[in-house]
């Protein structure tokens, strides 16, 4: 089994994003409620965050709750929010020990008050950390993010703050939740599903995609390493020919 030692430190993805999928099916396989899967997903989050920090990944973004996930049964949504609060409380020290800064993207105002307060607290208390930036996507949807950006830019155009001719990638980037993040280099999705589910649509324009057939609660160091090694074996051409790159 491959370990972190097998990763080439000179060719690291700067920004890794993960669609953590398969908690429900993991639980179902064991004849348990979906909630049991979410509870066990927390340990995979903990290990993945620490492993990414050990590998020296600069930015790790985790899809924890989508705008569409609000449509799940109320009980499940409540449990997910409770798990968020308890994990934030529990992990503050570990984040600080690993020099990790916590950020959040998404419609944070729509989260329960308790979650907002805890999130704010942990973000503040890790603000000065200079190692990895861990970003949680919470009540996040790419289409909502883009709609919000288009509206904000339109208002600025209307008020002559920017002109239509000046709308470029940078202007759009600065109006997204992800304004503090570089583009995604490597996007991982667990659970065997091959879709993006409204995650970072603009930001993954040239990301390398890695789909893996394990349910999120089973995701461990060797899976992460497998994804990064796959990334390191690819040629990113950004529209150019292979000859141009060498």
Q: Which residues bind ligand IPE (CB under 6 A)?
A: 19-25, 63-66, 69, 80, 191, 193, 195, 197, 216
* Rounded Cα gap, residues 136 and 102, in angstroms: 8
d(CA 107, CA 10): 36
* Window contacting Mg ion (CB under 5 A); options: 3-11, 13-21, 39-47, 64-72: 13-21
197 binds, among Mg ion, ligand IPE, none (CB under 5 to 8 A by kind): ligand IPE
Query: What Cα–Cα distance (Å) separates residue 174 from each residue in 62, 141, 146, 150, 155?
Result: 20, 17, 11, 11, 15
Verify binding: residue 118, Mg ion, rule CB under 5 A.
no
Q: What is the largest CA-CA distance in the chain?
A: 60
Return the bridge partners of 208, or none. 186
21 is catalytic: yes
Name the helix (H) or strand (E) containing 64: strand 59-66
10: tokens are: 């000179």
| Nearest CB to ligand IPE, comparing residues 133 and 191 | 191
Here's the x/- map for Mg ion, 66-95, by CB under 5 A: it reads as ------------------------------
- By the 8 A CB rule, do 96 and 128 touch? no
Tell me how far, at minimum, the Cβ of 93 lies from ligand IPE, in Å: 25
Of 213, 184, 198, which is closest to residue 69 (Cα–Cα)? 198
Active site residue 6: no
Tell the smallest beta-carbon distance from residue 47 to ligand IPE (Å). 16
Q: Work out the number of other CB atoms within 10 angstroms of the CB of residue 134.
A: 26
- Using the rule CB under 5 A, give the single segment among 21-29, 63-71, 96-104, 233-241 that binds Mg ion: 21-29
**Which among 58, 69, 198, 218 is annotated as catalytic?**
69
Kindly tell me which of 21 and 145 has the beta carbon lying closer to Mg ion: 21
The two tokens of residue 6 are: 């097998």
44 binds, among Mg ion, ligand IPE, none (CB under 5 to 8 A by kind): none
Q: Tell me the catalytic residues.
A: 21, 69
Q: Point out which residues bind Mg ion (CB under 5 A).
A: 21
């Amino acid at each position: 089994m491959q370990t972190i030692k097998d990763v080439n430190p000179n060719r690291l993805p700067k920004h890794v994003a993960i669609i953590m999928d398969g908690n429900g099916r993991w639980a179902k396989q064991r004849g348990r409620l979906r909630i049991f899967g979410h509870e066990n997903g927390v340990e995979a989050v903990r290990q993945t965050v620490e492993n990414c920090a050990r590998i020296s990944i600069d930015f790790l973004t985790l899809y924890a709750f989508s705008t569409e996930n609000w449509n799940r049964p109320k009980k499940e949504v409540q449990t997910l929010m409770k798990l968020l609060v308890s994990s934030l409380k529990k992990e503050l020290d570990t984040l600080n020990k690993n020099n990790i800064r916590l950020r959040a993207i998404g419609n944070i105002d729509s989260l329960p008050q308790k979650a907002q307060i805890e999130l704010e607290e942990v973000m503040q208390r890790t603000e000065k950390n200079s190692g990895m930036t861990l970003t949680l996507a919470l009540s996040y949807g790419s289409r909502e993010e883009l709609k919000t950006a288009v509206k904000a830019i339109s208002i600025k155009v209307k008020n002559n703050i920017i002109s239509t001719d000046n709308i470029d990638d940078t202007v759009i980037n600065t109006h997204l939740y992800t304004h503090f993040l570089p583009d995604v280099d490597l996007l991982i999705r667990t659970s065997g599903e091959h879709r993006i589910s409204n995650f970072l649509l603009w930001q993954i324009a040239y990301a390398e995609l890695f789909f893996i057939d394990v349910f999120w609660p089973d995701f461990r160091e060797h899976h992460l390493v497998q994804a990064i090694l796959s990334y390191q074996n690819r040629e990113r051409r950004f529209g150019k020919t292979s000859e141009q790159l060498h």
